[in-house]
Structures are given as structure tokens and as C-alpha cells.
């Protein structure tokens, strides 16, 4: 322990966190230790919310599946009915993944802002890149865990093998990162819980239901089909569906291109807002 000498010759210990001019800490362009610390904090928080992003989405997906299965009526158990359920399962898995990916970071950032905890982060040597990476990766982890839990639950009642696991993994990563970054933006823009609720209700929910989740776009009117195909969530769901079934409604290459472009744009916007401290300092 540093023991500086005061004016009368007595040695007094420096308090915790005191400035020590003899110690110089150099952080590169990316503070790895700060990033890992923030990421660890978010992962620990997720462990306490396991019931929220694992059990609850599984129950919701099971209810959706049950309603559709019984809604098939006489077609249940026929090749046509099985095709409908096979189309539905990848969509429900992706729905759970995307929902948790967007909710986790938006809640975390808004809670930290409202409780004043965000000020401790801003005083630490952690920049926009470290904050963005920590929030996005932790949200992706929650989303992937949620989607995996739903898929495993479906395996108990319905065989849902993957035609191309690598393709499924690719679209899971692209889709979850896109929605996690969107969640970061939502948390930054929101000032109170009403704002967050409004974003989920009037932005995220319509995007989900206009994404080809429950019905193929081929049978939609031309205008509605154009709206759905302009929605980036459509390409995340369709990409996962291609990985599961071996075929989808569009080409996998097009879906990858769209998702990469949207990810780059969202990350650039979120990084810029974090760097400026948008709605963080006040």
C-alpha cells in the first residue's frame, strides 16, 4: 500500500480510488479489460433473469404451436398439415431469439439511465466501442439461449431437424446482432418506461407480424408482399427457415446481404450516439 508522508512526518494510507501520479495506465483504442468487465456484469444480470428469457418465450412458442396445430383440424397429421407446422417452427424459434435480443439491452440501458448507474460507466475508462460490444454480445447470448430453449422444447413434440446447421448459425448471429443493436438504440432514445413500451408496441411488434412469420409471402397481395420484403426481420426469419428446411422464400445470399448491410448501418448509428453520449449525461 502507498504510504505518503504528510506535513508532520506521519505516514497515512491513500484512500481507495485515490489518484496516484506514479501509476500510469495506458489503454489502447479498445479497453479490453473494461469491455470484459461490462460484459461480465451483463452476463451476471442475465443469469438472474433466466426465467424471463428462457421459460417465458418457450411457453409463448408452445401456445402458438398448439393453437396452429389444433387450428389445422382435419389436416392435422396429413402431409399438408405437417408442411404448415414445419414452416411455423423455424419462425417461432427465430421470434424468440429476436424478441429477447432486442428487449435485453433496451431494458438494461434504460434502467441504468433512470437509476443513475450509467454515470459510473461514463466516468470509467470505457468508450463507446466497449459499451456497444458488451451490450450487443450479452443480448445476442440471451437471444441465442432463448431460441435454443424453444427449439429443444419443440424437439420433444415435433421433429425439427436442421438441413444446414452452419446456415442456421449464420442467420442466428446476423439476426440477433441486428436486433441487439436495435435494442441499444431503443434504450438510448427512451427516457422513461413509456417510451420503451411504445417502441416495442408500435415498432417492434408490427415488424414481427409483417415479416412472413406465420404465412409465406407468395400468397400475399402484391402491396403487402412488398411491405414484408422491405422488412429486414423477414430476411432473418427466412434465412433461419432456409437452414432448417433447406428452402425458403428468397435466396440465402440476398438475405445475408440485406442483414449485413442493416447490421453495419445500425452499428454505425449506435456507435455514434454512444460516442456523443446521446441522452446519457442528462
pLDDT of residue 28: 67
pLDDT of residue 1: 45
pLDDT of residue 26: 56
Dihedral sign, Cα of residue 211, residue 217, residue 221, residue 226? positive
8 contacts: CB under 8 Å, gap ≥ 6: none
163 contacts: CB under 8 Å, gap ≥ 6: 243, 244, 245, 246
pLDDT of residue 83: 80
Stretches in the chain below the pLDDT threshold 70: 1-28, 76-77, 160, 282
Question: Tens digit of pLDDT for each residue in 209-244?
Answer: 899 888 888 888 999 999 999 999 999 999 999 999
Question: Tens digit of pLDDT for each residue in 123-161?
Answer: 888 889 999 999 999 999 999 999 998 888 888 777 767
Distances (CA, A) of 256 to 87, 148, 178, 248, 264: 20, 21, 12, 13, 12
pLDDT of residue 79: 77
271 touches 263 (CB < 8 A): no
CA angle 77, 62, 194 (to 5 degrees): 145
pLDDT of residue 110: 94
Distances (CA, A) of 33 to 127, 155, 169, 195: 12, 40, 28, 33
pLDDT of residue 5: 47
Beta strands in the chain (DSSP E): none
Amino acid at each position: 500500500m502507498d504510504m505518503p508522508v504528510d506535513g508532520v512526518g506521519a505516514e497515512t494510507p491513500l484512500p481507495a480510488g485515490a489518484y496516484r501520479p506514479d501509476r500510469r495506465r495506458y489503454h489502447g483504442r479498445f479497453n479490453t479489460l473494461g469491455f470484459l468487465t461490462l460484459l461480465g456484469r451483463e452476463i451476471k444480470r442475465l443469469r438472474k433473469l433466466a426465467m424471463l428469457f428462457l421459460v417465458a418465450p418457450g411457453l409463448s412458442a408452445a401456445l402458438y404451436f398448439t393453437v396452429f396445430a389444433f387450428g389445422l383440424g382435419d389436416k392435422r397429421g396429413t402431409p399438408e398439415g405437417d408442411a404448415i407446422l414445419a414452416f411455423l417452427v423455424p419462425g417461432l424459434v427465430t421470434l424468440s431469439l429476436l424478441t429477447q435480443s432486442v428487449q435485453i439491452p433496451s431494458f438494461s440501458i434504460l434502467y441504468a439511465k433512470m437509476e443513475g448507474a450509467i454515470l459510473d460507466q461514463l466516468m470509467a475508462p470505457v468508450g463507446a466501442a466497449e459499451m456497444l460490444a458488451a451490450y450487443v454480445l450479452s443480448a445476442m447470448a440471451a437471444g441465442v439461449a432463448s431460441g435454443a430453449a424453444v427449439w429443444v422444447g419443440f424437439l420433444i413434440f415435433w421433429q425439427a431437424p436442421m438441413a444446414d446447421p452452419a446456415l442456421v448459425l449464420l442467420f442466428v448471429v446476423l439476426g440477433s446482432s441486428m436486433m441487439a443493436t436495435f435494442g441499444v438504440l431503443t434504450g438510448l432514445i427512451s427516457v422513461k418506461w413509456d417510451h420503451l413500451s411504445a417502441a416495442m408496441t408500435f415498432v417492434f411488434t408490427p415488424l414481427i407480424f409483417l415479416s412472413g412469420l406465420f404465412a409465406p409471402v407468395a400468397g400475399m397481395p402484391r402491396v403487402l408482399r412488398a411491405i414484408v420484403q422491405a422488412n429486414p426481420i423477414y430476411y432473418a426469419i427466412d434465412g433461419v427457415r432456409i437452414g432448417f428446411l433447406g428452402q425458403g422464400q428468397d435466396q440465402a445470399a440476398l438475405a445475408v446481404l440485406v442483414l449485413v448491410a442493416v447490421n453495419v448501418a445500425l452499428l454505425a448509428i449506435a456507435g455514434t450516439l454512444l460516442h456523443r453520449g446521446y441522452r446519457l449525461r442528462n
